[in-house]
Structures are given as C-alpha cells and as structure tokens.
Structure 1
Amino acid sequence: MRGFWGKQSQVAKIDLYMRVTLYVLPWLISVGALTPLTEEVGRDPGAVALARALLALCVAQCAVAMHTIHHSLAHYIDGAPAPWCSAAVALALGGVSVGLVVALQATGEIGDGTVMIQILPYTLLPTAMSTFMLSTLRRLALGTVVAAALIAGALAASGAGAGLAAGGVVIVVFVWLFALATTRSSAWFMAVIRELDLSRDVSARLAVAEERLRFGRDMHDVMGRNLAVIALKSELAVQLARRGRPEAADQMAEVQRIAQESQREVREVVRGYRAADLPAELEGARGVLSAAGIDCLMDRGPGDELPAGVQSALGWVVREATTNVLRHGDARTCTVRLAAEGGRAVLVVENDGAGEVSAAGTPGSGLAGLRERLSAVGGTLRAGPAGDGRFRLTAEVPLVREVLR
C-alpha cells in the first residue's frame, strides 16, 4: 500500500482520498447510528421487525449511494452521463426509510419524539449524498423544501405534534446543509484541482514547445543565410565552369569554407555552446514555474557579477532544470540558489514532488548534455533525490579557471 501511495501524484492522492471519504461516510454515519436501534425498541415484535427492516434498508441505501456517488462524480467532473436511474432508486429508498421511521414512531416503542428526530437524519443522509451532484443549487433547495413539507405532513398524519413536525423540517434543512458542505463541495474541490493540474500540464507543454521554437530559430539563423549563400555561389561556379573561367574554382573554395563554417555553427547550437544569458534564464524560470502553479523561491546571489562563460554554462543548467521540474514529478515548490563559494560558482535547483527519479541520466538525456556543457568549463553536475520526496540538482563551475582563460 505504501508503494502504491508513494507512486501517486498529489492530484491522484487528493482524488482518491476524497472519493474514499465520500464512499465510506454514509456507512460510518447512517449504519453506525442505526445499528443499536434494534436493541432499543422494546419487546414488541412489530417494532423489532420495523427496526430491522429500517437497518436493512439503510444498508441498501449506502450501497446505492456508493454507486451513485461514483457516477455522479464522473458526471460533475468529467461530464459523463448523469446516473438518473440509481438516483431515482436512492430517492425511493429514502422515502421508504422515512415511512418506516414514521411507522416506528407510531408504535410508541422508541420513546418520545426525540428519538425519532435523532433517527431521521441518518435515513436521509445517503439519499442526499446520492443526489447533490446532479442538479443546480436552486433545484436542490426546491427539492429540499418539498421533502420537508412531505415529512412534516407525514408526521402530522401519524398523530405527532406540531413540535415534531417542525423538528422534522429542521432535520431536513440540516441534512441539506450537511450534504452541501460534504458531497457538493468535495465534488467542486476535486473539479478545481483537476483543472489546475490540466493547466499546469498545458504550461509544461508550452514551455517545451517554446524551447523547440527557440532551437528552430537558432538553426534558422545559423543555416538560413549560409545555405542561401552556398546556393548562389554554387550556381555562379556552375556558370563560370561552363564558360571555362578559372574563377569557378575560387567560388567552389568559398562554398567549401562556408559549408565548414556552417558545420561548426550547427555543432555549437546542438551542443549548447552558444551563449545563454543567466539573468534572463533565471527570470524566465521564475515566470514559467509561477505560471504552472509552482511556488518559486529564488536567491540569485552574485549572478550578474559572474564571468560570461560561467553565466552561459549555468544559464543552460537553469533552462534544463526548469524543464525537468515541469515535465517530471509533481512539484509544488522549487528553490533556486546561486552563490560564489571558495572560488566556485554553485547553482542549486531543488524541488519537491519528485517521486522516484533516476539520478543518473542516460546518454543523450538532458542531464548528460548538461554534464558535457559543464565539463567544457571545468564544472561538475550532481543530481538525485534529497530525501522527503525532493530532488536536488547542483552545478559547480570554477571561477579561477574561467578568469585564466
């Protein structure tokens, strides 16, 4: 169970907790409260039979409530078809339960009306929880008024006094408020959590798409002009060669030089050796994480005073770490700390909600690419779990080596 629970995201944990609570609540309240009733009705066989029937009916109500609540949540959150049939069954069982309570009160075996008033909410609760996600609040309020009037009329017809009839109305209103505060509010809370999770997923996808667009722009800037020049000079070389002009060789030599330069620039783009602005990357990380609903705590330290090469290397670390926080785990907070300690620039990115994360990247992975970039400036990278479901990435770059170079 611990392994199953640990593998779930925060949203899945909340969803499971709320569902189990709603499923179990009718059993704990209604069945738990009505079970001692069979021992309190005296020795009258008719009263004992009514009490046992009421308890059996309550068990059936709770079973129907579990089924109806499950499908009602799917209707309220995901837009699935409403379980009208099971809701109608729940309403019918609730009506029969109220009838049994009134009949039991008429036998005179459960004392005065106070006991009946105590029993009534436990018979109404499963029905209320079964139906409170299937309609608007206005219709639910109207239905509650109708139910209160019917129960008050039934109590009056059974010979109960005006005080008991008024107590029945109060009980119906209380059950309405209780179901509203538990069932309806829980469904609303789960729907909001689901929407926030979807929004964060969209933000993560947008961040990845933005990175791909940036790479595409870099490739276009590097290769677009060079390929156009290569095409023009190749065409010129062909025309000169057809005319027997010696300048054709010079043009082809220029084409070769431009092609070699393009290869070098493409390697720089792919390997990430083009400069990355560390302050801009830090601000971008703060904005993207905040947009994804992640609380970002940032200590920039002497970021603007670091050498250009160190800033470029650490800028790529910030970009890759931000992407990993968005795409992996279920982070709620992320801390970014930048400091200069003992002749080294140290960048720490730590987030919660990491789950089971592999600290050792595979060849070609983002972490492996970061290690290659940092090794070019004598830096190191450590990444792995930091305990309590947290993941920490630490990049260190020597400042002395950068200054000497």
Structure 2
Amino acid sequence: MRRAGSWWRGKSTPAKVETYTRWSFHFLALVEVATFGLPVFGAMPSSLSWVLFLMVVGHAALCAVFASRALDWTRGTRARPVRLLWVLAVATAVVALVTIAVVTRGPADEEKATAAVALFIGVLSYGTGTLAFVVRETRRMVYTALGFALGTGAYSWALGVPALAALVTVGAVLLAAGFYTFVCAFSVWLLNSVYELDAAREARTRLAVAEERLRFGRDLHDVMGRNLAVIALKSELAVQLARRERPEAVEQMIEVQRIAQESQKEVREVVRGYREAELGAELAGAQGVLNAAGVSCTVTGSPAGLPAAVQSALGWVVREATTNVLRHGNAERCDVSLRAADGLVVLTVENDGAPPDSRGGSGSGLAGLRERLSAVDGTLEAGPAEGGLFRVVAQVPLSSSALPPPASSSDSPSSLPSSLPSSLPSASSDPSSPSLISERFA
C-alpha cells in the first residue's frame, strides 16, 4: 500500500486525471458485462445465454481497448485508431442485430424479451459513446448516435416489431447513446483542459523566471553602466593628456585602474549573489511568483524592525525555498510564516508538493543557506514533515543584530567613482582637442 501510495503521489495532477479517466472506462467495461451480460443466463436457454454473454464480454473488452488507444491518440502518443474504430462500430452493430433477432424470432417470453432489450440498448449505448473518443465535432457525435438509433428502429420494424415499439426503441437508444456519448466527450474535454492548464501554469512559471532574469540584468546594468561610462571618459581624457605630455595622464589611468577593480568586484558580488536581500521584498516576490505558478501561497508575519543582517539572511532562505517549490514536486499550497519571540526570529516555509523520496539537508542550495545563516549565528532545518509536507525552518537570534550587514559596494552610492577633476582642459584651450567629453556629458 505504501508503494502504491507513493506511485500515485508521484504523479502530476494531469497524469492523475489521465489515469483516473483510463481506469474509469476500463471499469465501465466490467459494468457493461455485469449489467447486460450476466442477466441473460436466467432469462434464456443455456446455449444462447453463453453466446450472448461471450459477445458482450468481447464487445466490452473491445470498448476498453479502443478507449485506451483513443486516449493515447488524444495525448499525441499514438496514431488515430481508425481501423479499430470500424471494428468497434461493426461489432456493436452485430451484437445489437443478433440481440434484436433473438427477441423477434425466438419464442415469446416476457423475461427473455426484457433481458434482450436491455442488452440491445446497453450495447448500442456503450458502443456509440465509446466512438465519441475519436469524433471531435459535436455535429458528428449527434449524427452517430442518431444514425444508430434510426438504424435499429428500421431494423426492428423490418423484423416485424410493431411501429410503436420500434419508435420507443429508437427513443431509448437515442437517449442512452446520447448520454454516454456526452460522458465520453466530456471526459476527453476535461482531460485536455487539465493538460492545457498545466501547460499554462508551466508557461507562467517560465515567465516568472524570465522576469527574474530581467531583474538581474537591470541590476547588473545599474552596477556596471555608470562605472563603464566613467572608465571610457577617463580613458579618453588620459589619451588627450598623454598626447600633450601632461603628467595628469598617469593619475587618470590610476583612477581608471581603481574603477575597473571596483567594477570587477561588484560583478562578482552580483553574480555570486552577495548583494543584500530585503526580506519584505523577497516575501512579496515569493507570494507573487508562486501564485502566478498556480501554487496558493499565504504569508504571515512582518519583517518590520528586524536588523538588516537578519533580513538579508532570511531573505535568501525565502528565495531558495521558493525556487525549490517551483522546481521540485507538485505543490498546490505553500505557507510562509515569520515570527519573533524570546529573542529569536523563526522563518517557516511549508509546502505539500515534496516528492515521496525527498531527503532534507543534502542540497547544495541548503548548504549555501546554512553558510549565510551561520554568519548571523542562525540555524536551518529542512525535511519532510507530518501530512506529506516539506518544511524549511530558519532560526536567527536577535543578538546577531550586533553583527554588521554584509558589505555590498554595488548598493552604496558612495562607491560610485568620483566626478572628473576640475583640472580638465577645455576644448577651447586646444583647437586640436576633440569635443567628445563635453558631448557625452551633454
């Protein structure tokens, strides 16, 4: 039972719906045999009962196989079962014709007639409805059900069945076949809709990731844009001073070297993720991304008043936990809570989409979080919890507020290179000097 439960929980929601749909129609094949095949044994002679029963069993098995292959065709894993469609249509017509012939040609017996009529209507209904799996247009579904109903009515009347009884048979077949056709068509539509919604959910997740990449690109542009512009200006200035043999050219190149080194450091900080993570922004971002991905996310607690170092460390925990929810498992709900009591800040992230064989504490991302939390004397626990949940708990003592927050030169306006010195030569002082510097400042 445990292995079977793990097999079911390991499936995605669309896969669960597909499995349920397949086995529902396999079970309906057994219902057809039990409802319409078994009653013939008590109402007809033994030899005839076995013939009709075996025909019903064969028809039910054919319906189950056709439904399975039609669902494969719907999912694009198999070609359309055209030959099997015609085999099923012919088999349905043969079983129905044999059954109605038994009623009209055999000795008059009310019990036998009742069982034969029930078998006749049941086989036509199951056969017609199952054909709807590969008939996409509503008009064709209606024509199929109507054609079977009118054909059986005409055949019954040709065999001597009274006109009123034949008309009643037409109505019964039309209602039963139409209802089962609707059930089959609705099942296919529901399965396709679930897969389309899952694809839309994945698309929204990819869009959220793309938005995060754009945000990273904007951050990198903000860090490097002005620095590179100043490097270009100072390099151009150094060239002009060197052409005039001015000693200030060396100072300008030293300044270019300093700015380049600072830029290199800032790029490394951005790429490695050493910039400050604001806890409030991370909580809001996590809730927005998860909700966009179809995961119901609730956030309780406020980071107001927490030290900057604590907010930065816990902000990275929220970011990593959100990434894990999106990448792993099939979560439908994620709860994030933040509370501070007795000199301790506790951040808890729970989701119900952890894989059955998940193990906590072994990922490189979690190892990185532990390193960040250790800088503020914090701890991290991650692993399965009760009720099939996966829980991440980060604890940071408020005494760690005495620790300075991690330095990030990219977030500090003072780290920007100073403006150009006032000793810059003007373009008018030397007719040969270009005016690129003034143009760029403009």
Pick closer, same or farther for the CA change 1:52–1:42 going to 2, 3 Å: closer
Pick closer, same or farther for the CA change 1:110–1:311 going to 2, 3 Å: farther
Question: 1:235: how far off?
Answer: 4.5
Matched with 1:392 is 391
What is the TM-score when the length of structure 2 is the normalising length?
0.80
Between structure 1 and structure 2, the one with the greater Rg is 2
Deviating more after overlay: 68-77 vs 315-324: 68-77
Matched, 1:23 2:26: yes
User: Does the 8 Å contact 2:145/2:178 carry over to 1?
Assistant: no
- Counterparts of 1:166-185 in structure 2, within 5 Å, are 166-185=167-186
Matched with 1:262 is 263
Matched, 1:121 2:117: no
Distance across 2 between alignment mates of 1:231 and 1:369: 37
User: Does the 8 Å contact 1:101/1:120 carry over to 2?
Assistant: yes
Matched, 1:217 2:218: yes
- Counterparts of 1:54-65 in structure 2, within 5 Å, are 54-65=52-63
Deviating more after overlay: 59-68 vs 162-171: 162-171
What SS is found at the alignment partner of 1:132? helix
Question: 1:361: how far off?
Answer: 4.1
Matched with 2:370 is 371
Distance across 2 between alignment mates of 1:404 and 1:83: 70
Pick closer, same or farther for the CA change 1:308–1:83 going to 2, 3 Å: same
What SS is found at the alignment partner of 1:388? helix
Matched with 2:144 is 143
Matched, 1:69 2:67: yes
User: Does the 8 Å contact 1:302/1:340 carry over to 2?
Assistant: no
Letter of the aligned partner of 2:311 in structure 1? Q
User: Does the 8 Å contact 2:325/2:353 carry over to 1?
Assistant: no
Question: 1:198: how far off?
Answer: 0.9
Letter of the aligned partner of 1:325 in structure 2? V
Question: 1:101: how far off?
Answer: 0.6
Question: 1:100: how far off?
Answer: 0.7
User: Does the 8 Å contact 1:333/1:351 carry over to 2?
Assistant: yes
How many pairs align? Answer: 397
Deviating more after overlay: 380-389 vs 269-278: 269-278
1:87 pairs, out of 85, 88, 96, with 85
Deviating more after overlay: 195-204 vs 274-283: 274-283
Letter of the aligned partner of 2:387 in structure 1? D
User: Does the 8 Å contact 1:30/1:125 carry over to 2?
Assistant: no
Question: 1:339: how far off?
Answer: 1.0
Deviating more after overlay: 338-347 vs 101-110: 101-110
Distance across 2 between alignment mates of 1:270 and 1:343: 33
Letter of the aligned partner of 2:309 in structure 1? G
Letter of the aligned partner of 1:27 in structure 2? L
- Counterparts of 1:253-332 in structure 2, within 5 Å, are 253-299=254-300, 301-332=301-332
> Percent of aligned positions with the same letter in both sequences?
45
Distance across 2 between alignment mates of 1:59 and 1:258: 83
User: Does the 8 Å contact 1:337/1:349 carry over to 2?
Assistant: yes
Deviating more after overlay: 318-327 vs 169-178: 169-178
Pick closer, same or farther for the CA change 1:230–1:375 going to 2, 3 Å: farther
Letter of the aligned partner of 2:90 in structure 1? A
Distance across 1 between alignment mates of 2:309 and 2:376: 8
Deviation readout 1:141-178 (Å, 9 max, x if unpaired): 23322322222232233333456434423431342244
Matched with 1:190 is 191
Pick closer, same or farther for the CA change 1:110–1:4 going to 2, 3 Å: farther
Distance across 1 between alignment mates of 2:338 and 2:402: 19
Distance across 2 between alignment mates of 1:73 and 1:155: 34
Question: 1:75: how far off?
Answer: 4.2
Deviation readout 1:278-336 (Å, 9 max, x if unpaired): 3333222222222222122221x232332333333323322222222122110111111
What is the TM-score when the length of structure 1 is the normalising length?
0.87
- Counterparts of 1:5-44 in structure 2, within 5 Å, are 5-30=8-33, 33-38=36-41, 40-42=43-45
User: Does the 8 Å contact 1:57/1:97 carry over to 2?
Assistant: yes
Question: 1:98: how far off?
Answer: 0.9
Pick closer, same or farther for the CA change 1:375–1:404 going to 2, 3 Å: closer
User: Does the 8 Å contact 2:153/2:170 carry over to 1?
Assistant: yes
Matched with 2:50 is 52
Distance across 1 between alignment mates of 2:400 and 2:147: 82
Distance across 1 between alignment mates of 2:37 and 2:196: 39
Distance across 2 between alignment mates of 1:110 and 1:236: 113
Distance across 2 between alignment mates of 1:136 and 1:39: 41
Pick closer, same or farther for the CA change 1:110–1:213 going to 2, 3 Å: farther
What SS is found at the alignment partner of 1:135? coil
Matched with 1:4 is 7
Distance across 2 between alignment mates of 1:215 and 1:404: 27
User: Does the 8 Å contact 1:203/1:292 carry over to 2?
Assistant: yes
Letter of the aligned partner of 2:100 in structure 1? V
Letter of the aligned partner of 2:260 in structure 1? A
What SS is found at the alignment partner of 1:275? coil
Distance across 1 between alignment mates of 2:271 and 2:396: 21
Deviation readout 1:340-366 (Å, 9 max, x if unpaired): 12212221111112113332244xx43
User: Does the 8 Å contact 1:281/1:319 carry over to 2?
Assistant: yes
User: Does the 8 Å contact 2:278/2:311 carry over to 1?
Assistant: yes
What SS is found at the alignment partner of 2:304? helix
Letter of the aligned partner of 1:380 in structure 2? T
Question: 1:16: how far off?
Answer: 1.3
Deviating more after overlay: 197-206 vs 115-124: 115-124
Letter of the aligned partner of 2:63 in structure 1? A
Structure 2's unaligned 5+ residue stretches are 405-442
User: Does the 8 Å contact 2:381/2:393 carry over to 1?
Assistant: yes
What SS is found at the alignment partner of 2:253? helix
User: Does the 8 Å contact 1:204/1:323 carry over to 2?
Assistant: no
Structure 1 vs Structure 2 CA RMSD: 2.8
